[in-house]
Amino acid sequence: MSSDLSFDALVPLGWDDRVAALYASVAEPHHQPARVGRVDRDRCTVRTATGQLRAAAPVLPTTGDWVALRTDPEPVVDVVLPRWSALEREGQLLAADIDVVFVVASLDRPLNLNRIERELVLAWDSGARPVVILTKADATPEADVLAKTVDARAVGVDVVTTSAATGQGVDELLGHLRPNRTAVLLGPSGAGKSTLVNRLLRSESEATGEVREGDHKGRHTTSSRHLLVIPGGGVLIDTPGLRSVGLTGAEGGVALAFPDVEEIGQGCRFRDCRHAGEPGCAVVAAVEDGRLDPDRVASYLKLQGELEDSVKEPWLKAAESQQGRIVHRAMKKLPKKKR
Ligand SMILES: Nc1nc2c(ncn2[C@@H]2O[C@H](COP(=O)(O)OP(=O)(O)OP(=O)(O)O)[C@@H](O)[C@H]2O)c(=O)[nH]1
Ligand SMILES: [Mg+2]
Ligand SMILES: [Zn+2]
């Protein structure tokens, strides 16, 4: 079955030499290649050279995975190809075999830099390259200023300012997708992910939903992660908005998201320096002479602290929090000026 001709139809799904080589490393003659478009319970929807079908999946893949499919007597995902990237949040796989993670934040509500930073950490940790998308530029006169703020905090990451309403930035996004890249959208509900997808697809196939009036939060309109083919080339995975962005297990992502701090930290006198006032700390010195942005260093330390907390044994965490309460109570008893 494996005439090259039949694989041509997979190109819009992102098939290229890289995927072909991975496929060849696991496939047997009775297999055919397919890409997972969406997963529910123990079955998934896969896209093959000839169309879309539902397949059983004893080893559950995730959206974006390339698989070797057996179709006789029934469609079954036999092998999940080795992944070159995987976006994961606290042990949950969100998408696989992606090249770009679009970290989406909207400009119709106050910027949450901390959240963007956390999503960038997950993005870097996935093995794909992050790009920040600021949406709804039409909703504020401050779009350029806000973009500069984000740009300063997202070192080494492109920031694209867009509006699905005016079309601003849409071509730039398409540039990040061509020719055969796969991107996943990551961001809170109501950020405008699906609206942007419709704009890129030039269709209205994705459901979109109004945000709440007061705080501009979304109503979780998109309910599944699913894969979409962009007409001009490229693949997009739309996702339901994440409520929270836990960082458990994403140590590598923190290092990649803060290369400047990590590099300068190599120069600290103590190898295990926590950059919290130890003598000979190169990071503190760099903040003092203006080479490092103090806000960025603060974020770095905060995220590092969270990761350390997440790997601690539960009993240790409990003990520490108990100790924290005791200290806190003791402090409360002190007269105000001594605190
Ligand atoms: N003014 C303006 N509104 C937009 C723009 N893009 C999206 N919106 C609105 O923002 C709201 C939320 O958009 P969605 O695309 O559903 O958001 P989402 O990120 O997909 O949300 P979930 O699916 O819940 O995660 C809708 O009412 C959109 O019309 C834009 O560029 N400008
Ligand atoms: Mg959506
Ligand atoms: Zn230090």
Are 298 and 184 part of one and the same domain?
no
Cα dihedral: 168, 169, 170, 171 (round 10): 120
Write the CATH number for 314.
1.10.40.50
Tokens of residue 43, six digits: 């079955």
Neighbours of 198 (CB within 10 A): 18
Ligand 1 pocket check for 222: Cβ under 6 Å: yes
- Specify the pLDDT at position 44: 95
* CA dist., res. 31 & res. 80, Å (int): 12
- Specify the pLDDT at position 205: 83
Are 168 and 228 part of one and the same domain?
yes
Mean pLDDT value of segment 67-86: 95
Ligand 1 pocket check for 209: Cβ under 6 Å: yes
Residue of 208, 213, 217 with the most ligand 1 atoms within 8 Å of its CB, for mutation? 208
Of 244, 253, 242, the closest CA to residue 307 belongs to: 253
- pLDDT tens-digit series, residues 122-168: 999 999 999 999 999 999 999 999 999 999 999 889 999 999 999 99
- Specify the pLDDT at position 34: 97
User: In the chain, which residue ranges form alpha helices assigned H by DSSP?
Assistant: 4-8, 17-26, 113-126, 143-153, 170-177, 193-201, 251-257, 259-265, 282-288, 294-311, 314-333
Q: Would residue 9 count as lying in a domain? A: yes
166 CA closest ligand 1 atom index:
31
* CA dist., res. 272 & res. 250, Å (int): 19
- Specify the pLDDT at position 3: 46
Q: Which of 80, 114, 131 is the last residue of a domain?
A: 80
Report CA(210)–ligand 1 centroid distance (Å).
7
Are 56 and 92 part of one and the same domain?
no
With a pLDDT cut of 90, the percent of the chain lying above it is 71
Checking if the pLDDT of 175 tops 50, the result is yes
Give DSSP secondary structure letters for 86-110. EEEETTEEEEES-SEEEEEEETTS-
Are 108 and 221 part of one and the same domain?
yes
Question: Which residue is listed with tokens 């997009």?
Answer: 236
- pLDDT tens-digit series, residues 275-323: 998 999 999 999 999 999 999 999 999 999 888 877 665 565 565 555 5
Are 197 and 119 part of one and the same domain?
yes
Residues in the chain: 339
Q: Would residue 245 count as lying in a domain? A: no
185 CA closest ligand 1 atom index:
19
Report CA(169)–ligand 3 centroid distance (Å).
40
- Specify the pLDDT at position 64: 98
188 CA closest ligand 1 atom index:
25
Are 121 and 184 part of one and the same domain?
yes
Q: Which of 80, 107, 133 is the last residue of a domain?
A: 80
Ligand 1 pocket check for 234: Cβ under 6 Å: no
- Specify the pLDDT at position 335: 46
Are 75 and 91 part of one and the same domain?
no
Mean pLDDT value of segment 231-254: 91
Which of 22-26, 87-91, 178-182 comes out lowest in average pLDDT?
178-182
Are 26 and 142 part of one and the same domain?
no
* CA dist., res. 334 & res. 339, Å (int): 7
Are 164 and 227 part of one and the same domain?
yes
- Specify the pLDDT at position 180: 84
Q: Would residue 251 count as lying in a domain? A: no
Q: Which residues pair with 54 in a beta bridge?
A: 45
pTM of the predicted structure, to 2 decimals? 0.89
Ligand 1 pocket check for 168: Cβ under 6 Å: no
Are 197 and 120 part of one and the same domain?
yes
- When divided into structural domains, the chain yields a total of 3
- Specify the pLDDT at position 6: 72
Sign, CA torsion 7/10/11/15: negative
- Specify the pLDDT at position 331: 45
Distance of CA 328 to the CA centre of its chain: 37
Residue of 170, 195, 204 with the most ligand 1 atoms within 8 Å of its CB, for mutation? 195
Ligand 1 pocket check for 135: Cβ under 6 Å: yes
Report CA(305)–ligand 3 centroid distance (Å).
14
Ligand 1 pocket check for 197: Cβ under 6 Å: no
Which numbered ligand comes closest to the C-alpha of 191?
A: 1
Q: Give me the helix-helix angle, 143-153 and 294-311, nearest 10°.
A: 60
Are 94 and 131 part of one and the same domain?
yes
Ligand 1 pocket check for 241: Cβ under 6 Å: yes
Are 74 and 90 part of one and the same domain?
no
Average pLDDT, the chain: 89
187 CA closest ligand 1 atom index:
19
Checking if the pLDDT of 274 tops 60, the result is yes
* CA dist., res. 165 & res. 301, Å (int): 38
- Specify the pLDDT at position 334: 46
Ligand 1 pocket check for 263: Cβ under 6 Å: no
- Output phi, psi for 201, to 5 deg: -80, -10
Domain that holds residue 301: 258-338
Report CA(272)–ligand 3 centroid distance (Å).
8
